[in-house]
A and B are shown apart, each in its own frame.
Chain A
Amino acid sequence: MSAASGLLETHDLVVGYVAGVDILHGVDVHVAEGEIVTIAGPNGAGKSTLVRSICGLLPARSGQVLFRGEDISRTKAHAIARKGVGYVPQLNNVFVSMTVEENLELGAIARRRTALRERIAAMYELFPRLKERRRQRAGTLSGGERQMLAMARTLIPEPDVLVLDEPSAGLAPTLVGLIFERIAAINKTGVTILMVEQNARRALAMSHHGYMLDLGRNRFRGTGRELLDNPRVVELYLGIDRRGVRARPIPGEDRAEG
């Protein structure tokens, strides 16, 4: 598993919110350059906590987060963003009081020497919808448009790795397909993807590697295919539905996890 070109890794990562209560009990994740890696698992597994900690929004209690071999577990979130880790939260991921274009302009903060106009034009090509809406306040956008804007803003500074927390959460089924298609297209341009996904079948099917997280620990790891073919994984986490959607959504699962 330990490929030489590890871009982003965690070693034995322990994280929590409340004193004395750990949410992650030592999680190891390895993301190689150019890969798509999915972290799946049931509600409350600590998936969002893991990516928030990687991006510097939650301090690690112990363990390491390595980006290009450098420990960033004590680095502030804005400095991590400036190193090339782009993070798209699940909720509240756009600046609602600012216009679409201002949101995109803010993306450039993470890297000063960005050819801003060119990057914005490239994002409008990737998400034509945003171009139509560019003078609109982001707060007036639909859920799918917000997700697109959040991804576009994070891509403006040309990050090495894009960290996505539940990119398909709360979206209409037709939009889910579009978002996954765009994620694959972004990966094709050389951006490494680390995503947390509720929609595990679909995400794993397009991933080079995947992790099943449960109660703050790694349970299964493997290539996307291996996990999808593993009967234990299917039985425990993926349900019996073969259409690529969970048979019965767990109530409240679309909301942020603790």
Chain B
Amino acid sequence: MWVAASAAYSLANDERRWDTGEVVELMRSVRALDAQRGRLRRAVGARPALAGLAFFLAIAIALLIAKGANAFGQTTVFGVVSGSYFALGAVGLTIVYGVLRLVNFAHGDFLTFGAYMAFVINVTVGLPLIVAVLFAIATTGAVGVGLELFMWRPMRAKGAGMLPLLLMSIGLAFVIRNGIQMVAGTGERNLRVNVTSTIAFLGLRIGRTELIVVLTSVVVLTLVGLMLRFTSLGKQMRALADNAELAEASGVDTNRIILATWLLAGGLAGLAGVLYASAVGVFTPDLGFLLLLSLFAAVILGGIGDAYGALAGGFLLGLIQEWSTLVIDARWKVAVGFAALIITLVLRPQGIFGRARAI
């Protein structure tokens, strides 16, 4: 493009008379350049995920070469660990948005709720963590369903728009967080997990608990992905997210599917909360609130409303944040994550995997 611009400039400022042949030749080369640029843009536009992945891999390779295999590998491990709870939280958040067009600001506090529910069973009662995890999933899912029945459904029936619902979700976030603070206090808590023993492989370290967190998250997310793709419930959820009225007219009991959506989103949030609390080791009632923006970033990075996008977005965000510590101080890793989000959105407003909405 610069060549074309400078040619045009010299064309405009040149005292010399140009003969027609030269002008035609110049115009032709400008057009050829434009066409080339168009082809590149189309190639990137047609395969945005692939182009994004290529860019991402290029950065990874550059870091690998510049910082050495060990440092790069270790930050990748950390990135995957935080990615695994980002992804779990983000998938629930994005499914709720996709199905209900509700931006649920209370979703982060669902994570907190899950962590404290696990604390009750694991520490107060003293049962094993696995029981606590199941309890956290069940109770947080139940909270999602209960709120749908007593809050969201009546509001929708009254024809409430997006803004009142959004404000209600912000209010709900405060209610849940302050409720937890009221009952459990604001101090730091820990679950009874082993945060000291680590496993070494290929010269890299990962905490035993962290490894379990990653594996749990990957298994659960795979199951959710398969459920959405292949089961009747998953197809009905996608249909509802695609076109709610058409789904209802086609025989989908939309109210029932919405309940299932809340159960799923709540359950995933509860699990994410426990996994976060286990991996990090300590937590406070601010856990979910502090994570929420990162969850939104993961959701938007992947394309809002797209469950697979949120999954990828969560892991991408985790990796970007941890890799950035190779170059700049770890204190700034959250800011780096959001800078990556902003750059992505400027280039691709619908997110890496999102499609521009048809019609």
Chain A positions within 8 Å of B, measured between CB atoms, are: 55-57, 76-78, 81-82, 87, 89, 91-98, 102, 105-107, 109-111, 139, 153-154, 157
Contact = CB atoms under 8 A, between A and B. Distances in A.
The bracket for how many chain B residues form the interface is 20 to 34
10 contacts: A57-B248, A77-B248, A78-B249, A81-B249, A89-B246, A92-B243, A92-B359, A102-B238, A139-B355, A157-B251
Nearest 7 pairs of A and B residues by beta carbon: A110-B251, A81-B251, A95-B242, A109-B251, A139-B358, A77-B248, A97-B242
A81 B246 contact: no
Nearest to B251: A110
A79 to B, nearest CB: 8
Contact of A102 (B235, B243, B358): B235
B249 A106 contact: no
A98 B238 contact: yes
Contacts of B10: none
The DSSP consensus for interface residues of chain B is helix
A102 B355 CA distance: 18
Interface of B: 232, 235-236, 238-239, 241-243, 245-254, 355, 358-359
Contacts of A96: 242-243, 358-359
Given A92-B246, A96-B358, A78 B253 contact: yes
B239 A106 contact: yes
A95 B239 contact: yes
Contacts of B254: 78
Contact of B232 (A97, A107, A109): A109
B251 A82 contact: yes
A150 to B, nearest CB: 9
A35 B274 CA distance: 61
Contacts of B248: 57, 76-78
B238 A95 contact: yes
A87 B249 contact: yes
A106 B358 contact: no
Given A76-B253, A96-B358, 15 more contacts: A57-B248, A57-B249, A78-B248, A78-B250, A78-B252, A94-B246, A95-B242, A95-B243, A95-B246, A98-B242, A105-B235, A106-B247, A109-B236, A154-B250, A157-B251
